[in-house]
Structure 1
């Protein structure tokens, strides 16, 4: 591989943009890339880190670069080479590249480790030790792609992550994995970890024993987020649906009654219960009308207490959610409370102190602008806030 005179000149005398352009050229030689690896401009070193012809020894030096973007680019490239490590494990290139990857997987920058996880998360031939290390990372940006997708994680590995999660969110990542068997789902259910169980119930491919589902229905009485997932769960047994019908809030009872897969007599009973609840409400006592009036009056205390009560959480957790100053988070909390999208918009302003551009507004028809999955996910995230 021979560099052109123009490339050599640009590498030595050009500005940073020109030097980076040389480092990105496919035909640039390993010798010139080695020279550019010591460039003072991070954008040039980043281009060298991502180049396929950069010598393994040079890559090893770049693994200690002071710029995280350089190390991230290197991590992406080296991680993509993982399948080739096994073809010549004793070769110098493979050994140096594997050593570089070992350094990068311990990098203090989350973005660097996340680049590795994104590259190897679904590889069937990645080193098992690497996968286990990434799965136990405390940053979910790193761990989640591996936990959810790696074919190398065994049932025993998943049970270990559930029993001793590096961080609470680890269990939720396991719960979202496709094709979970009953042994793992039982283990998740036993933890009573609120966001993890909610994610498990929302996972259509997770196999959950009927007895386990019954226990979760009982436990959902004080956990509205579980109820929201249960009423929408694929193949909900009739016994669980009957039990849910006795405890869920009005808007979830309507969702349950609208299912098409329940026995006809149960559906009729649920719809009758919905009608009875609607008939029992006097127009003058419409709950949302009272809440809208409180919002217009700026009655923060009333809105706060009613939201906590309807969502089944403490006022401290509502305050913690409001402190995030996230319209989506407040909307998710209002949705789990069974409140409408227009009322949620008022709550974001009065309780959250958000400006109009920050508010998640309803659609023109008055429905939620966010999808059901997004609203549920936002509510799940709040479960980790102080209670």
Structure 2
């Protein structure tokens, strides 16, 4: 491959844009790419890193480039060659590329490792050692794509990740993997890891035994995220639905009662309960008015006591939540208690001592500014606080 005089001149004397164009040219020679690999402009080196004709020895040098974007681009290209980089190969070029990939998979920059994961996540013939290394990464942008999508991960691999997760979020990634077996679902459920079990329940393709669902329902009383996922889960057995009807909050009871797959008698009983709850809304509004008045009067003791009672947590956990000085955390706790967004704003100011700028205010219509998923997540986070 011979470079044109114009390309050589642009590589040596052109501006950064011209040099980048040379490095991107499909017919650029390995020699010219080697020269441009030492270019002072990162955008030029990025183009060299992306080029299929860049020699493996040069790629090895770029794996240590100071610019993370250069390394990220290189990681994506080299990882795409992973099936060809068998450690037993006799090709010196392949061995060089395999060594480069080994360096990049240990790169300190998450985006570099994530580029490798994105390239190999669905490869059926990627090196198994590489897949296992990525699956155990502590950064979820790296581990989750592989955990969820790699066909090389076995049931035993998934069970190992559940038993000894590198970080708590690892279990959540496993729980979101399509077509989980009953064995893996059982393992997740037995951990009682609140976010992981919620993710499992929200995974429509996860196979969950009826006995396991019953176990989850039994532990869902103080876990709003489990309740929310359970009432929406397809093919919910009637015993589980009946048990849920006894513990879910009012808004979830309405969701449960609206299901079309429940036995007729159970559906009718749930609708009756929904009607009864609606009938006492006036009392609830009176109670909220009392709490708003307490907030405006600065009655911390009453608010603290009522919040702990309504949210089903101890006074110590409420105090621990308040100590976080997080408007979102307090809003999540108030939401768990069934309180309104305007009351939650007052609680943040009075109990949390937050300034107006720190408070999560309601919308103009008086509803929650945070989404349901965010509020449930905030409540979940508080479960790890002192009880």
Given the two structures, how large is their TM-score scaled by the length of structure 2?
0.85
Rounded to whole Å, the distance in 1 between the matches of 2:290 and 2:123 is 55
Go from structure 1 to structure 2 and tell me whether the alpha carbon gap of 1:276 and 1:300 turns closer, same or farther (over 3 Å shift). Answer: same
Is the Cα–Cα contact under 8 Å of residues 105 and 113 in structure 1 kept in the other structure? yes
SS at structure 2 position matched to 1:221: coil
Is the Cα–Cα contact under 8 Å of residues 331 and 344 in structure 1 kept in the other structure? yes
Q: Which of 296, 318, 321 lines up with 1:318 in the alignment?
A: 321
Go from structure 1 to structure 2 and tell me whether the alpha carbon gap of 1:37 and 1:332 turns closer, same or farther (over 3 Å shift). Answer: farther
Rounded to whole Å, the distance in 2 between the matches of 1:192 and 1:41 is 51
Rounded to whole Å, the distance in 2 between the matches of 1:220 and 1:44 is 56
Rounded to whole Å, the distance in 2 between the matches of 1:52 and 1:380 is 47
User: 1:276-315, aligned counterparts within 5 Å?
Assistant: 276-283=276-283, 285-290=285-290, 310-312=310-312, 314-315=317-318
Aligned to 1:82: 82
Go from structure 1 to structure 2 and tell me whether the alpha carbon gap of 1:279 and 1:41 turns closer, same or farther (over 3 Å shift). Answer: same
Rounded to whole Å, the distance in 2 between the matches of 1:55 and 1:178 is 39
Cα RMSD, aligned residues only: 3.2
1:106 deviates by: 0.9
Aligned pair count? 382
SS at structure 2 position matched to 1:231: helix
* Cα-to-partner distance string for 1:196-227 (whole Å, 9 max, x where unaligned): 11111111111111111111111111222211
User: 1:1-387, aligned counterparts within 5 Å?
Assistant: 1-85=1-85, 89-283=89-283, 285-290=285-290, 310-312=310-312, 314-315=317-318, 318-319=321-322, 323=326, 335-340=335-340, 353=355, 355=357, 362=363, 376=376, 380=380
Go from structure 1 to structure 2 and tell me whether the alpha carbon gap of 1:122 and 1:244 turns closer, same or farther (over 3 Å shift). Answer: same
Rounded to whole Å, the distance in 1 between the matches of 2:323 and 2:203 is 27
Go from structure 1 to structure 2 and tell me whether the alpha carbon gap of 1:232 and 1:284 turns closer, same or farther (over 3 Å shift). Answer: closer
Given the two structures, how large is their TM-score scaled by the length of structure 1?
0.85
1:247 deviates by: 1.6
Structure 1: gaps spanning 5 or more residues:
none
1:309 deviates by: 5.1
SS at structure 2 position matched to 1:53: coil
Rounded to whole Å, the distance in 2 between the matches of 1:26 and 1:70 is 18
Structure 2: gaps spanning 5 or more residues:
none
Rounded to whole Å, the distance in 2 between the matches of 1:378 and 1:184 is 27
Is the Cα–Cα contact under 8 Å of residues 316 and 386 in structure 1 kept in the other structure? no
Go from structure 1 to structure 2 and tell me whether the alpha carbon gap of 1:126 and 1:272 turns closer, same or farther (over 3 Å shift). Answer: same
* Cα-to-partner distance string for 1:162-221 (whole Å, 9 max, x where unaligned): 111111111111111111111111111111111111111111111111111111111111
Rounded to whole Å, the distance in 2 between the matches of 1:228 and 1:255 is 9
* Cα-to-partner distance string for 1:216-245 (whole Å, 9 max, x where unaligned): 111111222211221222111111111111
* Cα-to-partner distance string for 1:119-175 (whole Å, 9 max, x where unaligned): 111111111111101101111111111111111111100000011111111111111
Rounded to whole Å, the distance in 2 between the matches of 1:48 and 1:56 is 11
1:286 deviates by: 3.6
Rounded to whole Å, the distance in 2 between the matches of 1:378 and 1:124 is 38
- Between 1:371-380 and 1:143-152, the stretch displaced more is 371-380
Is the Cα–Cα contact under 8 Å of residues 42 and 67 in structure 1 kept in the other structure? yes
1:251 deviates by: 1.7
Is the Cα–Cα contact under 8 Å of residues 322 and 330 in structure 2 kept in the other structure? no
1:371 deviates by: 6.1
